[in-house]
Structure 1
Amino acid sequence: MDVAEKQFTELYERHYGDVWRYVARRVGGSDVGDVVAEVFLVAWRRLRDVPAGSALPWLYGVARLVLSNEARGQRRWQELALRAAAEPDRSVSVDHADEVVSQRDVAVAFGRLSAADQEILRLVAWERLSVAEAAVALGQSRATCAMRLMRARRRLRMQLDVVGDGVQRATRATPSMSNWGA
């Protein structure tokens, strides 16, 4: 057994029960074991970051973050379920042409943005991170991240205007169906 394995084994044996109780007081049921396993996985991966004299508070901090991630994931699933329930009945025949054109416009406009603009927008809009969380993910200050997000949103709006204008010009140039003859 090497030094790291020995250090982790001691950490695990000494604090497993405390971490288990900490998590169990915050969540119930079968999720406790999964959360505790995730805490010790993080501890193994970041063994060098575990403070020598205060490992238990550090483990509690990791547990708090893991629980926060779990709660955020559950909220996302619940929001998704609510959005799915609110969707109109797809068995009814409806013309979705405007929705398809709108989605295509967004995709084209988004594709015209720089990779950096796309990433900040993905983190905030798709991953639903706050500006502070996105700043951590990008390794930037909160202020820098907020400014980048504002600028990326502005550039996306400008691209949407450009793409929308192009669609309107193409629509005006295309003969209407009534002129196609039968």
Structure 2
Amino acid sequence: MNVVEDRGAEWFRAVYARHYPDVVRYGLRRLAAAGAAEELAQEVFLVVWRRRWEVPPKTLPWLYGVARRLLANHWRAQRAGPRRVPLPDLATGDPHEQVAGLIDVRAALGRLSEDDQEILRLVAWEQLTVGEAAVVLGCGATAAKVRLHRARRRLAAMLRDRPEPATVPVGGGQR
């Protein structure tokens, strides 16, 4: 009689209790922060739960394989991911300067072509990957990367070349 192993919550709790520290240690040896290693372990155990019927009896090597693939995907996404256009930090500094900086970015963006604006908005505002933006734009990923690179370069040039704001003296004027 072939008895199918129960892979419910109790099984999962046992695997988690036994191997969570091992997966965290695996992450600690590869990542800079303990929090990142714990986050990796949580992702690994999400995969375990979703794929619990595929987990082999020798669980730990399989868990390490899942962790390895998750890390590889994370690193690949970071390399291929878009660089961010630095914006003023809204948490510190003069609020008037922050607003002026955001206005400058919006004004520069408005002077770009519609195509440049769209690729920048898809990646920066909608948080799409370059590949996802390519699908939206109906082009290949390589073409989208080139468009994004050129649009960023043009936006940076517009921000660099913007005129200095006029200053109005405060106080000290004649009455």
TM-score bracket for the superposition, by shorter chain length: 0.3 to 0.5
More helix, by proportion? 1
TM-score scaled by length of structure 1: 0.45
TM-score scaled by length of structure 2: 0.47
